[in-house]
Amino acid sequence: MSLKKQALSGLVWTFAQQFSVQGISFVVSIVLARILQPSEFGIIGMIAVFVAIGNSLVSSGLTQSLIRSQSLTQKDYSTVFFFNLMGSVVVYAIIFFAAPFIADFYNQPILVSILRIYCLSFLIDALTSVQIARLTKDMNFKAQMIVVVPSLIISGACGVAFAYMGFGVWSLVYMTLIQKLLQTIQYWLRTKWYPSFVFSIPVFKEHFFFGYKITLAELLDSFFRNIYQVIIGRFFSPTQVGYFTRADTIKQLPVYNISIALKKVTYPLFSSIQHDNVKLKSAYRQVMQLTLYIVCPILVFMAVLAEPLFRFLLTAKWLPAVPYFQILCFAGILQPIHSYNLNILKIKGRSDLYLKLEIYKKIIIVASILATIKFGIIGLIWGQLAISIVIFFINTYYSGRFINYPTKEQMKDIFPVVLFSLILGLLVYFLDLTLKNYKASDLVRLIISPAIGVLLYIIISKIINLNAYNSIVSVLLKRKRVIQK
């Protein structure tokens, strides 16, 4: 299979996986949000930073090194497997003994048992990190989808059942563990890869010297990506953490679906053309424009329709989360661009620069938190929006030098899509306001306003000959010809 066909196939299956996974997760979370209280989601939100840090350590940058490397043997895979497994035991032990101190920090005694049970997921994940890396390297996203989707459906059904039976916050804990266990069993059965009892020090060093910088960078990112839950949980209430977490989760639905799906495909794809800067720049530009063309209007429309959206999906008890959600939507517009710029550094082997940039950016985040916390939760979230803009300039400056794609040129490519989306968002806002004045139901507002907005988005994109629109049409037409043949 040619590189282009392989990439297209990978993209199709990755999108199918991401949308089905997030679609199922979204439905399950909506049902759970109607049963459980915001404070119960807030409890899980409080431990999110520790779970994220643990997951970063368990997956480690060594699996990134496996995906990036051109020639690998069983010795490579087995060495990384046993390192990840040993690392997961160490990480779990640290969390186990630190749990009482974490509970004291939040003044929530229940966190001791929740952390000790929930973080068993680290040990389970370590058993599949190499299998997933092998499938990703081969761009076999179909197999990953076949594993993940059934696991999610079964665990989601169990989570809802637990919630109805009154398990409260434990419904979320048990649901996660069931999902991890089901995925692990299927990965071992389907991939048919098993580690050999070998651990090579030279092989370990080779992957470690590339991967440890990625791991440190991801640790920083994991901590600071969840630092707002920590701050809100420490200085405010679990209910406020629940509102923030739910707002961020819904915002992430389009961002995570599209950007992560493309990231999974583009990392091995970019790695295969890492020495051809012309092809790399062209591929990166197309991916960036396509992602923004889809993500940007969705986030803008969701921000505009936040009130009826939350009331219809989650009931009125979640309406205090609406202001958080609206600001987070605008902060999320540039999030996919951050990921792709960092991918360039990784495939160019500059994990050292990747780590340095993460450190610089975290210093900026700390400064923002210190400057905005006096304005409350809303101030903290406005700070996130400002940080996203600053980080865009940092990432594009450094990654752009490697592929001759400077910040100014990247801005020129994305500005039309962002401006276009904001203008249409304003139109949707006034349309929704009219429907609201006529006492239209939330469902009617959520159907009519975005439908008209999307229709206008497509029509005007065609009229003004927008590059991203033309690229999507081109891909769809090629896909149609392939299916017809």
The confidence score (pLDDT) of residue 100 equals 94
Contact indicator for 267, 141 with CB cutoff of 8 Å: no
**Predicted local distance difference test score (pLDDT) of residue 270:** 63
Residue 458, both tokens: 């497509």
Q: What is the 3-state secondary structure (H, E, C) of the chain?
A: CCHHHHHHHHHHHHHHHHHHHHHHHHHHHHHHHHHCCHHHHHHHHHCHHHHHHHHHHHHHHHHHHHHHCCCCCHHHHHHHHHHHHHHHHHHHHHHHHHHHHHHHHHCCCCHHHHHHHHCCHHHHHHCCHHHHHHHHHCCCHHHHHHHHHHHHHHHHHHHHHHHHCCCCCHHHHHHHHHHHHHHHHHHHHHHCCCCCCCCCHHHHHHHHHHHHHHHHHHHHHHHHHCHHHHHHHHHCCHHHHHHHHHHHHHHHHHHHHHHHHHHHHHHHHHHHCCCCHHHHHHHHHHHHHHHHHHHHHHHHHHHHCHHHHHHHHHCHHHHHHHHHHHHHHHHCCCHHHHHHHHHHHHHCCCHHHHHHHHHHHHHHHHHHHHHHHHHHHHHHHHHHHHHHHHHHHHHHHHHHHHHCCCHHHHHHHHHHHHHHHHHHHHHHHHHHHHHHHCCCCHHHHHHHHHHHHHHHHHHHHHHCCCHHHHHHHHHHHHHHHHHHC
For residue 29, the model assigns a pLDDT of 85
Torsion sign over Cα 12, 260, 175, 161: negative
What pLDDT is attached to residue 485?
Answer: 47
Q: How many CB atoms lie within 10 A of CB 109?
A: 10
Q: Can you tell me the distance from the alpha carbon of 17 to that of 148, in angstroms, rounded to the nearest whole number?
A: 8
Residue 264, both tokens: 């999974």
Which residues fall within 8 angstroms of residue 36, CB to CB, at 6 or more apart?
Answer: 163, 168, 169, 171, 172
- pLDDT, residue 483, reads 42
Per-residue model confidence as pLDDT tens for the chain (485 residues):
444 555 555 555 566 666 677 778 888 888 988 888 888 888 888 888 888 888 777 766 677 777 767 677 888 888 888 888 888 899 899 999 999 999 998 888 999 999 999 999 989 988 888 888 787 777 667 777 888 888 999 999 999 999 999 899 999 999 999 999 999 999 888 888 888 888 888 877 877 776 677 777 777 777 777 888 888 888 888 889 889 988 988 888 777 666 666 666 666 666 666 666 677 777 777 777 778 888 889 999 999 999 999 999 888 889 999 999 999 999 888 887 777 777 777 777 676 777 788 788 888 888 999 999 888 899 999 998 999 898 888 888 887 777 778 888 888 888 888 888 999 999 999 999 999 998 899 999 999 999 999 899 888 888 887 777 776 666 555 544 444 44
pLDDT of the residue at 484 = 47
The angle subtended at Cα 226 by Cα 51 and Cα 209, nearest 5°, is 65
Dist CA 345 CA 263 (whole Å): 13
**Cβ burial, residue 60 (10 Å; 0-12/13-18/19+):** buried
The reported pLDDT for the residue numbered 435 is: 92
- Residue 373: CA count within 13 A, CB half-sphere: 16
> According to the model, what pLDDT value does residue 132 have?
81
pLDDT at 356: 81
**b vs e for 83-107, b when ≥16 Cβ sit within 10 Å of the residue's Cβ?**
bbbebbeebbeebeeebeebbeebe
Q: Can you give the pTM of this predicted structure?
A: 0.73
- Residue 454 CA, chain-centre distance (Å), reads 24
**Sign of the alpha-carbon torsion through 136, 141, 146, 152:** positive
Please give the pLDDT value at position 9: 54
Distances (CA, A) of 465 to 146, 274, 340, 458, 469: 38, 31, 25, 10, 7
